[in-house]
Amino acid sequence: MFVRSSKMTSSWLFLVICFVFTSASEKFVNLVCKNEYHGVHGQKSLLECIVKPIKPCIITGLTWKIVRGDVTLLEYHGDKISPTPGFTFAEPDWNNRNLNVSLLLTNTKMEDEGEYECVVCTDRGDDIIIVNLSVTAKYTSPEMSSIPENKVKENEAVYIFCNSTGQHGMIWWFNMLGQNCTNDSRLDTKINKDGLFSLSSKLTVEKATSNNSYYTCNVLSVTGAQKETASFQLQFETNGQEQDPNTLEQATSPDNAAITNWLAPVVVIGSLIVGLLIALLFCKRRTQRRPNDHPTSNAYDIEAVKEEIEDLNSTG
């Protein structure tokens, strides 16, 4: 949280003096800023503001403060820069002839969200402007678990948990059939000290079955945009043993052991048949072109192919 600064009194004093000695009849200085800025929790944020005078000028005083709580964050007065930790000029070597008065937040937090006021006084005039900073946070990759953890029995009730941390959001659930199970879940939200939200959702599966054992947890922002996702497989009993945790990957892969066991012999047999047929065709054409005193019977070659196939089938 922001704490009211003891330098606020002096800050307002120099601003009053600044406005008193500045002509209000004509504006010679403009602060040019965007209305909206966006920051990300844990990263730097820049509130970019540039002084645009009609004629060259020198800055005599400047103050950045957050409107909420009326707290001064950065002040320049009497040739002295007084920053609050975490807030500074965007240009490290800033001086009163530098018209870039942008405010840099070195480590943005969720609590930094809000309106910011910048007041600048120059020897040519003054200006004041208010900008808004919105802050978002990335979600952590969901962590999933279940009770019971393994050896789940058919038609047994199971609880599946999904936890993530980030900004305020929601969690949706889907089973392996693509059905939305969110109505069977409960979401608990807690605000941490750093301003982030801890999202914890519990899905109740009243009758778990091995035919529908995969569940997906989707973390969404308050606008409904999907940010993170994770999947979880219930570990069922199989002949007295729980399922291998790697079966989820194997189930979605076409190269599992079951396919390999029957596919390999078929490929070998097919290759052999094609090779023998090509050899037969080649011999037949040679016979037609050059008559032989002892012609070879095609029936003999076909029978040989059949015998090869039968041998392979018997060994497979």
Segment 148-165, tens digit of pLDDT: 998 999 999 999 999 999
> Does one domain contain both 126 and 175?
no
Averaged pLDDT for residues 218-245: 82
- Residue that the structure tokens 């002295």 belong to: 80
> Does one domain contain both 241 and 269?
no
Averaged pLDDT for residues 250-263: 39
Decide if pLDDT at 259 tops 70: no
> Does one domain contain both 276 and 200?
no
> Does one domain contain both 19 and 109?
yes
> Does one domain contain both 105 and 170?
no
In a domain, 164, yes or no: yes
- Interhelix angle 298-315/257-289, rounded to 10 degrees, is 170
> Does one domain contain both 131 and 56?
yes
> Does one domain contain both 18 and 130?
yes
Decide if pLDDT at 96 tops 70: yes
pLDDT of residue 180: 96
162 vs 135: CA distance, rounded Å: 24
> Does one domain contain both 161 and 126?
no
> Does one domain contain both 226 and 299?
no
Identify which has the larger pLDDT, 111 or 14: 111
Provide DSSP, the chain. Answer: -----TTHHHHHHHHHHHHHTS-SSS--EEEEE-SEEEEETTS-EEE-EEEEESS---EEEEEEEETTTTEEEEEEETTEEEEPTTEEESSTT--TT--B--EEESS--GGG-EEEEEEEEESS-EEEEEEEEEEE-PPPPPEEEEES-S-BPTTEEEEEEEEEEESSEEEEEEETT--B-GGGEEEEEEE-TTSPEEEEEEEEEEEE-GGG-EEEEEEEETT--EEEEEEEE--BEETTEEPPTTHHHHHT-TT-HHHHHHHHHHHHHHHHHHHHHHHHHHHHHHHHHS--SSPPPHHHHHHHHHHHHHHHHHH-
In a domain, 1, yes or no: no
In a domain, 2, yes or no: no
Decide if pLDDT at 185 tops 60: yes
Find the domain containing 70 and state its range: 8-136
66 vs 238: CA distance, rounded Å: 62
Which of these ranges, 117-131, 152-166, 219-233, 239-253, has the smallest mean pLDDT? Answer: 239-253
> Does one domain contain both 91 and 49?
yes
> Does one domain contain both 179 and 211?
yes
Identify which has the larger pLDDT, 23 or 235: 235
In a domain, 191, yes or no: yes
Question: What is the number of structural domains in the chain?
Answer: 3
Query: Final residue of a domain: which of 112, 136, 160?
Result: 136
Query: Final residue of a domain: which of 251, 278, 306?
Result: 251
> Does one domain contain both 154 and 176?
yes
Segment 105-140, tens digit of pLDDT: 999 999 999 999 999 999 999 999 999 999 999 999
pLDDT interval class at 69 (50, 70, 90): confident
Query: Final residue of a domain: which of 230, 251, 272?
Result: 251
Assigned token pair, 147: 């009770």
CATH of the domain at 62: 2.60.40.10
In a domain, 169, yes or no: yes
Decide if pLDDT at 290 tops 50: no
